[in-house]
Structure 1
Amino acid sequence: MILEAQQIDKYFLEPEKHQILRDISFSISEGELVSVFGESGSGKSTLLYILSTLDTDFDGSLKICNQDIKNLTSAELTDFRNKHIGFVYQFHYLLPEFNVLQNVMLPAMKLSQKGKEEIKENALDLLDEVGMKAFAKRPSYQLSGGQQQRVAIARALINNPSLIVADEPTGNLDQKNSELIFHLLKEITEQRNKTVIIATHDSKIYDNSHRNIEMIDGSVRL
């Protein structure tokens, strides 16, 4: 089991105390592609923020790779996140001052578990896998939206994480590029046996995922 959420409740305190998530419990296994969907305001973005360990201010339990994330210090959590979780956002967040290859290498350089040449070789292999190796030396700002998102997927994989969290990864793309990005994410589960969680409004994504989690007024329907 890669992820186990047990009885998660989440409150916002401003302007007054208000419950956002209610009794969220589910588990996700290795190699699953799971879509989280629901209408705006249903709580899916808040849930994804918690599942990606970016928010630990909640009631209940969250285990990732058998580690209870609430037992970690801030420094330990940052290290854990960098090792075990890869991120793909609606906005790619590539650094414009760096080229494509440098952007993919950044998380591994920060982790500092491999030498620069090994990281570079791994990054080039990942860029090849997502069809972007020919653009390795190109400044990231010169890429199209679909190309930038493919680079973001390569970056998410550079530390060989157990879990990929994707927040509306096709939200700013046309249909052709949306299908390409989803195909790449699905390949990650099937060929690399990674677990992928996608928050989405795209019916084609949740119709073709292994499993769906529907958010309704802060609760889940599995």
Structure 2
Amino acid sequence: MTAAAHILKANALGKQFYEPERHYVLQNNTFEVAEGELVSIYGKSGSGKSTLLYILSTLDTDFEGELLINGTQIKGQSQSFLSEFRNRNIGFVYQSHYLLNEFNVLQNVLLPALKLNTHSRAELTEKARTLLTELGMEDRLSYPVYKLSGGQQQRVAIARALINDPGLIIADEPTGNLDRKNSEMIFELFQNICKTRNTAVAIATHDDKIYNNSNKSYEMIDGSLRL
């Protein structure tokens, strides 16, 4: 069997903060994420998980070491390049869903695709409808998002993350605000996304069940990942 290609490669990734004094919040992190792989990063608050995901999201390029996503070296790229690169290659799901209350479910999912503007609005609308149907939200397309439950809002956020067919989804505590039933449902959706779409998912979490059931699990201790 041919080994899966790697969507993300990090080599000796480090990050220093300078206030209140100079110190490393991340140091010497080398790891890879393959296509279709679900990788969890587990650790206490303040261990460096969110800082690492911020770098992996290409939102922070002031780091030590190397980061390649989809074969592209991230360090040294312009902000305009990275903005379009993120929209094409990375989907995002956060603890807070960051949906826009002035738009309905379908409109929220369409936003990243309309920004990329590579297909007609009709084609994108049909694609968004299909995604929402796959996620069990076909009867909520025109609902204001603020009327949805927490689990439903997170499903809409996942559909939004998938609309541009990214090779990588970054998920920062995506079940942190959900009860156990909805947490398990969201994690099962991520597992299914990896299997059916060959999309890689990197999740920062406090959830033992996610940590114990990922394809690869790291613990973040004092800024360093340990398998």
Structure 2 length-normalised TM: 0.96
**Which of 153, 160, 178 in structure 1 is aligned with 2:158?**
153
* 1:14 matches 2:19: yes
Indicate yes or no: 2:216 matched with 1:218. Answer: no
Cα shift at 1:157: 0.1
Shift of 1:220: 1.1
| 1: CA distance, partners of 2:174 / 2:55 | 17
Aligned match for 1:4, one of 9, 34, 38: 9
Name 1:129's counterpart in structure 2.
134
Alpha-carbon distance in 1 for matches of 2:39, 2:171: 10
Question: Which runs of 5 or more structure 2 residues have no equivalent in the other structure?
Answer: 1-5
Aligned residue in 2 for 1:84: 89
Deviation at 1:123, TM superposition (A): 0.3
Structure 1 moving runs of 4+ over 4 Å: none
The correspondence of residues 1-222 of structure 1 with structure 2, limited to 5 A, is: 1-222=6-227
Question: Higher mean Cα deviation, 96-105 or 49-58?
Answer: 49-58
DSSP 3-state at the match of 1:173: coil
Question: CA shift at 1:16, angstroms?
Answer: 2.0
Which whole-Å CA distance do the structure 1 matches of 2:78 and 2:129 have between them?
34
Q: Distance in 2 between the 1:94 and 1:189 partners?
A: 23
Identical counterparts, % of pairs = 62
State how far apart, in whole Å, the 1-side matches of 2:224 and 2:185 are: 31
1:57-90, Cα deviation, whole Å (9 max, x unpaired)? 1011000000001132110000000000000000
**One-letter amino acid of the structure 2 residue matched with residue 170 of structure 1:** T
Q: Is the 8 A contact 2:128 2:159 kept in 1?
A: yes
Structure 1 unpaired stretches of 5+: none
SS in 2 for 1:104: helix
Range with bigger deviation, 163-172 or 40-49: 40-49
Q: CA deviation at 1:214?
A: 1.0
TM-score (normalised: structure 1) = 0.99
- 3-state SS, counterpart of residue 75 of structure 2: helix
Alpha-carbon distance in structure 1 between the residues aligned to 2:217 and 2:70? 21
Distance 2:159 2:14 in 1: 33
Query: Size of the alignment, in residue pairs?
Result: 222
